[in-house]
Structure 1
Amino acid sequence: MIQKILSYIIPIKIFKKKSARSKTLEVTWANGELVLDSENTNYSYGSLQRILRYGLRNIGYGNILKMDHILLLGVAGGSVIKTLTDEVQYPGKITGVEIDPDIITIANQYFKLNEIKQLEVVIDDAFEFVLRTKDKYDLIIIDIFEDIKMPNFLFESFFSAHLCSLLKNRGYILFNTMILDEEHNVRNRKYIAEIDQKIFTTKMLPRIEDHNELIIIEKKL
């Protein structure tokens, strides 16, 4: 494909759509691969896939292969799902929660998300889903952005405590956060300090991208 080849020289935009939730969504050929972007940041594939792959490697592919059920809050184009199924070769169930149906339409059309048989996509608000679900999960991945903004509820102790309660023993939370200023640094440290250290271990991974910081929470028991 000529667009793919040319994308090693210059990014080639092939699709653009206005979304009520995400404002502008764009699909672009960049360095030989399709990526999904919002107006100001990468939503799927590209740098975001590298970031979440780094987090999954820190948890350990061997650990992930033993898991039964993974919950993803914030699906976008599904790059972390592709990492799980294609690279890790994870065989278990994946539930993806996405509030923006426009994104899922794009993900199905350009990234073939609907061809992943073990994936169930739920169009819902992540906050509401977490409060309602009766399932327990081995791994919960949080990757929720509205362009470059993160909803405040993600960092509230009420939500984080409820989210942690959904983990199975020895389960993990992988939380992708965006750091744009010192206030965000303070926010992340406060978030970690409020996690019950008797039941959970927490760590922040060294950044591999300037503005993304990964937090990993592991349930001890």
Structure 2
Amino acid sequence: MIQKLFSYLIPIKIFKKKSARSKTIEVTWANGELVLDSENTNYSYGSLQRILRYGLRNIGYDTILKMDHILVLGVAGGSVIKTLVDEIDYKGKITGVEIDSEMIQIANQYFNLNKIEQLELIIDDAFEFVLKTKDQYDLIIIDIFEDIKMPNFLFERFFSERVCSLLKDDGFVLFNTMILDEAHNVRNRKYISEINTTLFSSKMLPRIEVHNELIIIKKVA
């Protein structure tokens, strides 16, 4: 494809749409791959895929292959789902929760998410879904942004405790956060400090991208 070849020289935008939640959604050929961006940040593939792949590698691909059910809160273009299926060869069930139905249409059209048989996509608010679900999960990936903003509820103690309560024994939470100023550093440290250390261990991974910090929580009891 000529656009793919030229994208090694210059990014080529092939789709752009206004979005109520993300301001603008763009699909672009960049360095030979399709990426999904909002107005001010990468949403899927590109740098975001590298970040979440780094988190999954830290948990361990062998560990992930033994899991039965993974929950993804914030699907966007589905790059972390593609990493799980195409790169790790994960065969278990994946439930993806995305609030923006327009985003899912784009993910299906350009990134073929609807062709992943083990994936169940649910259009819902992550907060509402976490309150309602009766399932338990081996891994919960939280990757929720509205452009460069993260909803406040993600850092509230009630939500984090509810998410952790959905983990099976030895289950993990992989939480992608954005750090733009010192207040965000304080927010992340507070979040970590509120985790129940009797039941869970937690760590922040060294950053591989300037503005993203990954938090990993493991259920130990």
Same fold (TM over 0.5): yes
Task: Please give the residue correspondences for 1:1-221 in structure 2 after superposition, counting only pairs within 5 Å.
Answer: 1-221=1-221
Identity of aligned residues (%): 81
Corresponding residue pairs, total: 221
Q: CA deviation at 1:213?
A: 0.2
Q: CA deviation at 1:175?
A: 0.1
Quote the Cα distance in structure 2 between the aligned partners of 1:182 and 1:211: 11
Q: CA deviation at 1:22?
A: 1.3
The alignment's TM-score, normalised by the length of structure 2, stands at 1.00
Q: CA deviation at 1:126?
A: 0.1
Quote the Cα distance in structure 2 between the aligned partners of 1:2 and 1:150: 37
Q: CA deviation at 1:20?
A: 1.2
Which amino acid in the other structure matches residue 208 of structure 1? I
| Structure 1 residue matching 2:56: 3-state secondary structure | helix
Quote the Cα distance in structure 1 between the aligned partners of 2:174 and 2:152: 17
Q: CA deviation at 1:12?
A: 0.2
| Structure 2 residue matching 1:72: 3-state secondary structure | strand
The alignment's TM-score, normalised by the length of structure 1, stands at 1.00
Which amino acid in the other structure matches residue 159 of structure 2? F
Q: CA deviation at 1:21?
A: 1.4
Quote the Cα distance in structure 2 between the aligned partners of 1:210 and 1:162: 29
| Structure 2 residue matching 1:209: 3-state secondary structure | coil
| Structure 1 unmatched ranges of 5 or more | none
Quote the Cα distance in structure 1 between the aligned partners of 2:29 and 2:112: 16
Any idea what the Cα deviations from partners look like across 1:67-97, whole Å, max 9, x if unmatched? Answer: 0000000000000000000011000000000
Any idea what the Cα deviations from partners look like across 1:12-31, whole Å, max 9, x if unmatched? Answer: 00000011111100000000
Which amino acid in the other structure matches residue 205 of structure 1? L
CA RMSD in angstroms, aligned pairs only = 0.3
Quote the Cα distance in structure 2 between the aligned partners of 1:131 and 1:48: 27
Structure 1 runs of 4+ with >6 Å offset: none
